[in-house]
Amino acid sequence: MSTAVVDPAQATRLRRHYRRRHLLSRTALYTAAVLAALVCAGPFGYGAITALKLNADLYDASNNPFVFNEPATLDHVVFLFTDTAFATFVWNTMWVGLLVVAITLALAVPAAYALTRLDRPWAGPMGIAIFFVYLVPPTLLFLSLSRLVVATGLQDSTWSLVLIYPTITIPVSTWLLIGFLKALPRDIEEQAMVDGYSRLGAFTRTVVPLLFPGVVAIVVFAFTLVASEFIYALAFVSPSSEKVVSTGVPTELIRGDVFFWQSLQAAGVLIAVPIALLFNLLLARFISGFTQGAVKG
Amino acid sequence: MSSRATAPQGSPLRQLADREGFLAWAMLLPAVVYIVLVVAVPFGLAVAFAFSDVTAGDPSYDWVGLRNFARIFEDPVFWKALGNTFVFTAVSMALIIVLGKVLANILVADFHGKWVVRFLVLLPWTTPVALSTVAWLWLYDSVYSPIDWVLRNLGLIENHLYFLGRPELATASVIAVHVWRLVPLAAVIMMVGLLGIPTDVQDAAKVDGVGFWRRMFEVTIPLTMPLIAVAALFGAIFTFTDMAVVYILTRGGPTNSTQVLSSWAFIVGIEGGDIGQGAAIALFLFPLLLAAAVLILRAVRKIEVF
């Protein structure tokens, strides 16, 4: 402890000064956090209010749009499930997503392992090539891929998306998996090989199980990418029963000039909330995957 | 760990499973073959289509040289789309950097209810673009827009603004949606940078009595520059190549004033069926994408704080 003599009056003044500064910075932080949350979630919050409104309430421009001027109703949410193909869209998105995730893992996990652990001289350039593929956008490819889809006879079928979507998910998943693999110490496989496993055996029996947390993150990430994709789904698939959520909702729930506004907003909120919740749970893992992938090694 | 071997040491299968050169190829090949077939070949095809007369009705390939390019250059809509693509990208990138930085600082701070704030803040990024754009379409409604309602009740406007009906407002509306949906992604990337700064660097500055703003501009921003660059470039790429926002909000209207290259390529190539011309339009995205990718890679290599 300091033995210097401090003028008590000055000490009180300083303490008050710091307390005020602390209070000020906390207030600024909370204000900024609340504002950010409001701006980001506002459209969905407003969508949730809209989804539960009666037509008479919604379509009166003099009503306050942020409150219920008439009693709330679930009619339009029910309508979404009973009178539109929304449930079909969700089902299509789910099974396309799960299949694409399975294909992605089957191809990306071995590829990432080969690139990080097997010490090939071409691993570096190959990793960069994969990164470039990730940045090739659907906008550049959808026209030629639409010919490929026609050539394989998959036009207007959801299966065309199962064929094409791994182009979006494999590169980014490989990139993330490289990060997760770099975080695993090499001793693990070396020990397994000393114990008599082959190189391949060491990979399947020790590395794959340890990679599980990373794989969970990849599943969610890849699924979100699939659910968000718009251009391919719009270009390749037009029958209503084959559409996925991201194209079905904006094209089928808007008929010409007739908008089913409440049902549209209900669909948005019902899809947005679960995905964001899952993402929030896994955010720390994505961050560690991206940073590890970026480290030279 | 078990000490039993899975196969006898000398068997040919076991030898194969131990040869790293063979394993490396065997494990990488499926991914590489798939990417070559479904990305590289179609990319070559897209370039080839740009010099052809392929249409949805007549898919036979005939070389037409530069005719597609001559035709798109004559079309004022193409030049408008090209200009818009650059304007949208530049303006949203600037806003994404500033707002992303602010949001990143909020997200790394400690406060009550952080989990809820983080969840709400992630919504724009994790929700499928098409669905969040539909939410915005309703906010921009010509008659029932709540933004209109607030401004009307504050006495700032007399009538409706018609967000998507006037060229300048429609442009601003499209940019606003891009910024809104990409700021959270940029913030998360920048957050990675902030978390990577060793705490003693921050503490040393604090002990030296360096204030918040000076710490930010002289310590954290220079240290996290590579990740700020990565965030900015990702934001730029996603704005540059996106067509969902424009397609759902305005379909390029009013009178093509918000058309961008990707939406124009889609309208010409898929809706108009002129695949050759659509491919030629989309090709203009490529040089800038390549530049952005190279820049990202260079920035990523500088990240060695971790």
Residue A45 has pLDDT above 60, yes or no: yes
Judge if A225 and A88 occupy the same domain: yes
Number of domains in chain A: 2
In whole angstroms, what is the distance from residue B205 CA to residue B212 CA? 10
Judge if A261 and A230 occupy the same domain: yes
Q: A137–B285: do the CB atoms touch at under 8 Å?
A: yes
| pLDDT band at A34; cut points 50, 70, 90 | very high
Judge if A117 and A250 occupy the same domain: yes
Q: B30–A110: do the CB atoms touch at under 8 Å?
A: yes
Tell me which of A118 and B43 has the higher pLDDT. B43
Q: What is the pLDDT averaged over residues A117-143?
A: 82
Residue A295 has pLDDT above 80, yes or no: no
User: Which residues of chain B have a CB within 8 Å of the CB of A192?
Assistant: 1
User: Which residues of chain A have a CB within 8 Å of the CB of B216?
Assistant: none
Q: A139–B241: do the CB atoms touch at under 8 Å?
A: yes
Q: What is the pLDDT averaged over residues A79-90?
A: 88
Residue A197 has pLDDT above 90, yes or no: no
Specify the pLDDT at position A92.
93
Q: How many CB pairs below 8 Å do chains A and B form together? A: 306
Judge if A41 and A82 occupy the same domain: no
CB nearest to B146's CB, from A46, A150, A247: A46
Alpha-carbon torsion (A195, A200, A202, A204), positive or negative: negative
Judge if A44 and A126 occupy the same domain: no
| pLDDT band at A290; cut points 50, 70, 90 | low
Specify the pLDDT at position B109.
86
**In terms of residues, how long is chain A?**
297
Shortest CA gap B14–chain A (Å):
7
Adjacent-strand bridge partners of A255? A258
Specify the pLDDT at position B193.
79
Specify the pLDDT at position A296.
41
Specify the pLDDT at position A289.
67
Q: What is the pLDDT averaged over residues B209-238?
A: 83
Alpha-carbon torsion (B206, B211, B217, B218), positive or negative: negative
Chain B, window 225-264: residues with a beta carbon less than 8 angstroms from a chain A beta carbon: 237, 241-244, 247-248, 261-262
ipTM of the complex: 0.84
Nearest CA in chain A to B190: A287
Q: What is the pLDDT averaged over residues B128-146?
A: 90
Partner A contacted by B20 (CB < 8 A): yes
Nearest CA in chain B to A31: B106
Judge if A249 and A110 occupy the same domain: yes
Specify the pLDDT at position B34.
92
Residue A219 has pLDDT above 70, yes or no: yes
In whole angstroms, what is the distance from residue A205 CA to residue A208 CA? 6
Specify the pLDDT at position A106.
94
Q: Answer with the one of A26, A57, A73 that is the final residue of a domain.
A: A73
pLDDT in tens, A2-32: 556 668 888 888 888 888 888 888 898 999 9
Judge if A240 and A200 occupy the same domain: yes
Shortest CA gap B126–chain A (Å):
6
Q: Answer with the one of A73, A97, A117 that is the final residue of a domain.
A: A73
Judge if A108 and A158 occupy the same domain: yes
CATH number at residue A113: 1.10.3720.10
Residue A256 has pLDDT above 80, yes or no: no
Q: Which domain holds residue A47?
A: 1-73
What residue spans define the domains of chain B?
A: 12-50, 75-302
What is chain B's mean pLDDT, rounded? 85
Q: Where are the alpha helices (DSSP H) in A152-260?
A: 159-164, 166-182, 187-194, 199-202, 208-210, 212-228, 231-236, 245-252
Judge if A167 and A193 occupy the same domain: yes
Q: Answer with the one of A49, A73, A97 that is the final residue of a domain.
A: A73
Judge if A118 and A198 occupy the same domain: yes
CATH code for the structural domain at B75-302: 1.10.3720.10
Q: What is the pLDDT averaged over residues B136-143?
A: 89
Judge if A118 and A252 occupy the same domain: yes
Judge if A172 and A219 occupy the same domain: yes
Shortest CA gap B199–chain A (Å):
17
